[in-house]
Structure 1
Amino acid sequence: MHLSDATWTDVRDADADLALLPVGSTEQHGPHAPLGTDAYHAETVAEAGADRHDETVALAPTIPVGVAEEHRRFDGTLWVSPDTFRSYVRDVVGSLAHHGMDRVIVVNGHGGNVPALGEVTATISRHDDAYAVPFTWFEAVGDRSSEMGHGGPLETALLRATHPELVREDRIDEARAGASDGWGDWVSSTNLAHDSAEFTENGVVGDPGTGDAELGDELLDRAAEALDRLLTAVADRDVSG
């Protein structure tokens, strides 16, 4: 049940207590992929997980701007502070809980959101009238997780499978040529780089050319299956303590 498409009486009659809140980012993903990649992916995975689940799941509108200042040197990137992001997520979850949707999985598509989401879902679960946990799709695709870059094979593959019209295929060679092999500039287990522009010429990490639509279908299947399992666990969990 998409809350954006439902009426208030639809929501009342559905009587759902499970909700998914997709969160993404509006940030550079190289010359070939759109700024909204992370938001598109979060929503796509949330929809697929909800479709698989046996019980009614409310799908909240996607939060499109996240903690992404690390990409500030690339045009079009938007960001909010971790404090603002945590407060916004907490307020949205609180409004869901007000209507009885008090078990919420925050479906995340952006690595920069991970620390803030871990903190805010713990705060919600400890202090508010709701239970919330984070789910980051690219951490839930098994052995494929190790291939995650930025605008690289996994993100490009999922775009090719779900939003192929948004991939600038004529720029894949350009994206590959300016990409770095890995995230960061590491010495003594410390990343010396605070911004992505310090280690990647065009914002890309990894080879987007290797991420085809077949891989994207596999990633979506893995992520949706994992999210379905998590929905069941959240629904069944005793959170009264």
Structure 2
Amino acid sequence: MDLQTETWTDMADAETDLALLPVGSTEQHGPHAPLGTDTLDAEAVAERGAERYDDPVVVAPPVPVGVAEEHRAFTGTLWTSESTFRSYVRDIVRSLASHGWDHVVLVNGHGGNIDALREVSGTITRHDEAFAVPFTWFNAVGDHSTDMGHGGPLETSLLQHTNPETVHEDRLDEAADGGSDGWGEWQSGVNLAFDSDEFTENGVVGDPREGSAERGETLLELATESLVDLLDEIADRPAGPRS
């Protein structure tokens, strides 16, 4: 049940306490993929998960700007502070819970959001009238997760399957040539790089040429299965402040 396309009167009749909040980012993804990659991917997984689940699930509008200052050197990247981000997400979950949709999965598409989403989920579950848990789709696709980079084969594949018109196929060689093999600049177990332009010329990490629409279909299926399992697991959990 998509909040953006339903009427309030229809939503008032929704018999569910489950909701999905897609959370993405507006940031560079190399010369071949759109700035909204993370948001588009999170939306695709959330929408498919809601379709696949046996009971009704509310899908909220996506959060399109996240914790992404590490990509600030690349034009078009937007970011917010972690504190602002956490507060905004918490307010949205509170809004959902006020209507009875108080079991909320934060369907995340951006690595930079992970720590903040875990923290705010804990705050919500401990102190608010809701239960919240983060779900990052690219960490829930089995062995494929080892290929996660940035604008690399996983993100590109999912786009090629769900939003193929957004991928510049003629720029994949350029993306690979100007990218890096791994994330960061490491010494003694410490990442010395705070911004992505310190280790990748064009923002890409990984080889997007290893992606395909077929692989994207597999990734969407795996992420959807994981999300459905998660919804099953939280459906009967108590929501509300913990003593």
TM-score range, shorter chain: over 0.9
- Unaligned 5+ runs, structure 1: none
In 2, the alpha carbon distance for the partners of 1:101 and 1:239 equals 10
* TM-score, scaled to structure 2: 0.98
**Contact persistence 2:103–2:239 (CA under 8 A):** no
Partner of 2:59: 59
Distance of 1:120 and 1:12 partners within structure 2? 27
Kindly tell me the number of residue pairs found equivalent between the two proteins: 241
Cα distance in 2 for residues equivalent to 1:97 and 1:174? 46
Aligned partners of 1:118 and 1:224: how far apart in 2? 20
Other-structure match for 2:93: 93
Aligned to 2:84: 84
Task: Indicate the SS of the match to 1:14.
Answer: coil
Gaps of 5+ in 2: none
Partner of 1:228: 228
Residue 192, structure 1, aligned to residue 186, structure 2? no
CA separation in 1, counterparts of 2:5 and 2:212? 32
| 1:192 Cα deviation after fit | 0.3
Please state whether the residue corresponding to 2:194 is helix, strand or coil. coil
Instruction: State how far apart, in whole Å, the 1-side matches of 2:47 and 2:225 are.
Output: 12
Amino acid at match of 1:102: D
Deviation at 1:236, TM superposition (A): 2.1
Q: Partners of 2:168 and 2:236 in 1: how far apart? A: 43
- Answering whether residue 134 of structure 2 is matched by residue 148 of structure 1, we say no
1:18–1:235 CA contact under 8 A, matched in 2:
yes
SS of the residue corresponding to residue 205 of structure 1 reads coil
Could you say what secondary structure the match of 2:28 adopts?
coil
Q: Deviations over 1:83-137 (max 9, x none)?
A: 0000000000000000000000000000000000000000000000000000000
Q: Distance in 2 between matches of 1:69 and 1:201?
A: 17
The residue that corresponds to 1:133 in the other structure is 133
What is the RMSD computed on CA atoms of the aligned residues?
0.8
The offset of 1:15, in angstroms, is 2.5
Q: Does residue 1:168 correspond to 2:133, yes or no?
A: no
Letter in 2 for 1:56: P
Does residue 68 in structure 1 map to residue 68 in structure 2? yes
Contact preservation (8 Å) 2:30, 2:175: yes
Whole-angstrom CA distance in 2 between matches of 1:48 and 1:8: 22
Residue identity opposite 2:3 in structure 1:
L
1:237 deviation in Å?
A: 2.2
The Cα offsets for residues 130-179 of structure 1, whole Å up to 9 and x where unpaired, read as: 00000000000011101000000001111111111110111111101001
Once the 2 structures are TM-superposed, how far is the Cα of residue 37 of structure 1 from its aligned partner?
Answer: 0.1
- Identical amino acids, percent of aligned pairs: 67
Asked whether the 8 Å contact 1:69–1:78 carries over to 2, the reply is yes
* Preserved CA contact (<8 Å) 1:15 1:100: no
TM-score (norm 1): 0.99
